[in-house]
């Protein structure tokens, strides 16, 4: 949960419909280092506010106990693993670890929450952007050669241990997806049928916007405008992983916060990866994995993770889509000059 974003929402929601506009409530909370915006339609203001209050309380719990470096349950677990000890884990944290192991497996290890020590070594375990000289690259290389992975994590009942003391779990790559999944499920339980929850670039929808679908704008990774928009089908989610917000700059070069698990080095070939899926946690993890996979391997990883809608932008401005995503994408202006359409499935 360590990703810190500016106070701009990464996706833009365009709400359109015909006839009389239903009652709509908007509210924003601050958690996970970003703004989380709720748009709830079709219920009384008091119902919407009650739902948001309850969800925000759970969000704060997640922020504390799923945090990668501040005091909380995950930090306690990471410290135990570094000592070579097992620790009993609560039902609040354990399912997240189970999901992380599965997403690691189906991504061929390109989504790897076990590399928190590498992320920390690059200076990203802090609220502000890291500054100053680069970390010693020999230290990064040495740590990477120990190959910390989610396969090192052993689960026996509620006891969690690791066969590798260099494992340090950091769930910043997919915890927001899990959090928004839980938020939307709670809204549904409370009888709410139309809503959007947008956490600084990651977005879950519930139902539709009345008689029209939710229309979502994807932010351009360079000029902060809208590169394209898509109409969301019922209960779909749109997640974007980007290298353009969280980075370490040294001598005019920006070193991205998304690292290749095998080398410990920042990924620079893909600057933005957008994914649509009904499972927000999976979409969040896949956006990270596809960023690491790059232009050569994204087809294979998307297929293995069951992702059917993908849009990638590389450092030269080339846009990569599969045909299914192309059919749903409306570019803000003219189509990009460099557009590569190919099908991973």
pLDDT in tens, 122-134: 999 988 888 888 9
The answer to whether the CB of 94 falls within 8 A of the CB of 159 is: no
What's residue 20's pLDDT?
A: 47
CATH number for the domain whose boundaries are 74-162: 1.10.3980.10
Cβ atoms within 10 A of the Cβ of 76, count?
Answer: 14
Determine the angle formed by the axes of helices 280-305 and 94-106, rounding to 10 degrees.
Answer: 20
What's residue 247's pLDDT?
A: 83
What's the CA dihedral at 88, 94, 97, 103 to 10 degrees?
Answer: 150
Question: How many alpha carbons lie under 13 Å from residue 313 in its C-beta half-sphere?
Answer: 20
pLDDT digits (tens, 9 = 90+) for 8-20: 334 455 544 333 4
CA dist 234 → 51, 212, 215, 223, 276 (Å): 20, 10, 11, 30, 12
Structure-token pair, residue 190: 């409370």
The answer to whether the CB of 52 falls within 8 A of the CB of 43 is: no
- How far is the C-alpha of 344 from the C-alpha of 307, rounded, in Å? 9
pLDDT at 2 over 50: no
Higher pLDDT: 309 or 228? It is 309
Q: Which long-range contacts (CB under 8 A, 24 or more apart) does 262-269 make?
A: 262/109, 262/144, 262/147, 263/141, 263/144, 264/115, 264/118, 264/121, 264/140, 264/141, 264/143, 264/144, 265/140, 266/122, 267/243, 267/291, 267/292, 267/294, 268/243, 268/315, 269/294, 269/295, 269/314, 269/315
What's residue 319's pLDDT?
A: 93
- The mean pLDDT of the chain is 89
> Mean pLDDT throughout 168-187?
96
Residue 305 burial (C-beta neighbours within 10 Å; 0-12, 13-18, 19+) = buried
pLDDT digits (tens, 9 = 90+) for 184-197: 999 999 999 999 99
- Quickly state the pLDDT bin for 32 (edges 50, 70, 90): confident
> Mean pLDDT throughout 160-183?
96
> Mean pLDDT throughout 20-49?
89
Angle (CA) 92-170-62 rounded to 5° is: 30
């Amino acid at each position: 949960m360590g990703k810190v974003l500016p106070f701009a929402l990464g996706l833009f929601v365009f709400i359109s419909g015909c006839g009389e506009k239903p009652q709509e409530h908007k509210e924003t909370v601050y958690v996970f280092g970003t703004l989380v915006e709720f748009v709830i339609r079709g219920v009384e203001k008091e119902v919407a506010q009650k739902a948001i209050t309850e969800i925000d309380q759970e969000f704060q719990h997640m922020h504390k106990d799923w945090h990668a470096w501040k005091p909380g349950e995950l930090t306690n677990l990471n410290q135990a693993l570094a000592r070579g000890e097992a620790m009993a884990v609560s039902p609040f944290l354990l399912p997240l670890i189970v999901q992380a192991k599965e997403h690691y497996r189906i991504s061929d290890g390109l989504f790897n929450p076990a590399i928190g020590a590498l992320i920390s070594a690059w200076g990203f375990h802090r609220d502000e952007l890291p500054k100053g000289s680069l970390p010693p690259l020999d230290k990064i290389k040495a740590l990477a050669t120990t190959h910390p992975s989610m396969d090192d994590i052993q689960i026996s009942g509620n006891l969690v241990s690791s066969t590798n003391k260099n494992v340090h779990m950091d769930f910043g790559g997919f915890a927001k997806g899990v959090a928004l999944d839980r938020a939307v499920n709670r809204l549904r339980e409370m009888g709410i049928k139309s809503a959007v929850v947008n956490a600084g670039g990651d977005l879950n929808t519930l139902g539709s916007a009345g008689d029209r679908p939710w229309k979502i704008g994807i932010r351009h990774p360079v000029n902060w405008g809208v590169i394209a928009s898509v109409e969301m089908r019922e209960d779909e989610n749109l997640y974007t992983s980007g290298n353009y917000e969280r980075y370490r700059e040294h001598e005019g070069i920006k070193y991205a916060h998304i690292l290749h698990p095998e080398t410990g080095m920042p990924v620079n070939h893909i600057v933005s990866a957008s994914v649509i899926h009904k499972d927000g946690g999976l979409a969040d993890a896949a956006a990270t994995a596809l960023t690491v996979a790059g232009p050569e391997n994204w087809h294979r990883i998307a297929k293995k993770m069951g992702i059917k809608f993908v849009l990638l932008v590389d450092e030269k401005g080339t846009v990569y889509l599969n045909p299914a995503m192309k059919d749903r994408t409306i570019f803000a202006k003219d189509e990009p000059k460099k557009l590569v359409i190919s099908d991973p499935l």
